[in-house]
Structure 1
Amino acid sequence: MFSPEGPTLRELAVQALSSVERGYDLLAPTFDHTPFRTPAPVLAAVGSVLERIGPFDDGLDLCCGTGAGLDVLARVCRQTATGVDFSAGMLDVARRQPPEPTGCRVSWVRADARALPFTPAFDLVVSFGALGHFLPAELPALADGIHAVLRPGGVFALPVLAPPGPGSAAFWTLLGFDAAMRVRNAVWRPPFVMYYRAIRFGALLRELRRAGFRVELYALPEFGRRADGSPRARLIAARRLP
């Protein structure tokens, strides 16, 4: 699963026994050599949809990590792209590998996604692979915070994958991972919040609508369809109502 440049098992164990912030500070130098980095095909597919539903002037990458999503923002935003993350280590790596120049000004801010320090200054907020770091009880505040930093008509975009079926190895792998994390957090402090199945698709849509978004779903055809004909991957595009 990991390249030779990626973290060792010992380094991953130390990270897992740290807080989320400290864990990602430790993982930052090797993060891009792990499967946790958002794959390029996902970034490209999301960028293609955003180009169709734009234009956008100012974008925010929520929980930007080492900056993979900033490449998308620099592609679809005409003025500014801002990355926000609470891990100083991840931001340091992101600053050292900025997006290719497009005329869009890029900046980085260290802050907690649950308490964003921005006015309604963005037309687009994106997030890739960060939802598992929030507990279901935090979802209302997260949705309200994203709503608060978007201008009226602005879009929150979040790619989601269809959950694997109970008969698949992936289903039991994710279930086992979440169970292990719950045991870890029950016996060890500080907690490390990372769950693959804690926040359900329906609950997420309900909270976005409650917060004042009109939610649209776009299939990402690059990833095919399941046996029942539904897309394997979708982009949630939640538009802030006036």
Structure 2
Amino acid sequence: MFSPRGPSLRELCVQALSSVEGGYDLLAPKFDYTPFRTPESILDATTAALSEHGPFGRGLDVCCGTGAGLPVLRSLCRGQITGVDFSDGMLARARDAHPDATWVRADVRALPFANGFDLAVSFGALGHFLPAERPALFAGVHRALRPSGLFAFPVGTVPPATSVAHWVTLGFDLTMRARNAVWRPPFVMYYRTNRTPEVLADLTAAGFTASAIDLDTLGRHSDGSPRCRLLLARKAT
């Protein structure tokens, strides 16, 4: 499915009926050949936007997966690059692709870092956290950053109701909710639980000064709203 080197439909079904950690362990060998990998267009747009705020010292990729975000950090940071994820399978692929980085297995809701990084990024992971889990995630990132450190991550916006994408994402989220209501362990992955105002409020509550900028190079919806925003959260000095 997706490409000759990607997972089959059967493999995706097995993954979807696993836990988040177990599912990504299973998917890891073929993950980079799926549409789930963060597109280069988003990585490039994020790099361009953050280049106006750098350069930075040490960098952290939160929920790093197979390491798609490492080139972003490498282009912006002068110091050591670290990736953290809780999937052994994904980390194994990341180590193979980027042996010069540091890789840490940990639950990002309890990050084992303190005052160690100048820039933290995350790509495509926020949908794996329920709104009630965001405070712990953001508090851990805040703790991991040095004073004046920056946390940045792109967030897709909700498409207008007149678009096909609106109904596709809504249908996906409803399907996942039905799956999690009747099947254990749950697989948390939602597209419509991270609206920008609520996420900014949680970042502020965690101690950040938070804002959002439109990533105009990624285009706009038919109603004129941006397809993607970059959220910027600065730790106080």
Aligned to 1:102: none
Query: Can you list the C-alpha shifts for 1:107-152, whole angstroms capped at 9, x where unaligned?
Result: 1101111010111100111000000100011111111111111111
Aligned to 2:13: 13
CA-based RMSD: 1.3
Matched, 1:142 2:142: no
- Equivalent position amino acid for 1:116 in 2: L
Aligned to 2:73: 73
- Structure-2 separation of matches of 1:172 and 1:229: 18
Aligned to 2:26: 26
- Structure-2 separation of matches of 1:227 and 1:24: 34
**Equivalent residues in 2 for 1:139-218, closer than 5 Å:** 139-218=134-213
8 Å CA contact 2:95, 2:101 repeated in 1: no
**Equivalent residues in 2 for 1:12-91, closer than 5 Å:** 12-91=12-91
Aligned to 2:95: 95
Normalization by structure 1: what TM-score?
A: 0.94
Which aligned runs of 4 or more in structure 1 are off by greater than 4 angstroms?
Answer: none
- Equivalent position amino acid for 1:175 in 2: L
- Structure-2 separation of matches of 1:227 and 1:8: 33
Query: Can you list the C-alpha shifts for 1:10-56, whole angstroms capped at 9, x where unaligned?
Result: 00000011111010000000000000000011101111111111121
Number of matched pairs: 237
- Structure-2 separation of matches of 1:209 and 1:237: 11
8 Å CA contact 1:220, 1:234 repeated in 2: yes
8 Å CA contact 2:155, 2:228 repeated in 1: yes
8 Å CA contact 2:160, 2:223 repeated in 1: no
Q: 5+ unaligned residues in a row in structure 2: which ranges? A: none
- Structure-2 separation of matches of 1:225 and 1:235: 14
- Structure-2 separation of matches of 1:225 and 1:38: 18
- Structure-2 separation of matches of 1:134 and 1:18: 16
8 Å CA contact 1:74, 1:106 repeated in 2: no
Name the % identity. 62
Query: CA distance change for structure 1 residues 14 and 226 in 2, over 3 Å: closer, same or farther?
Result: closer
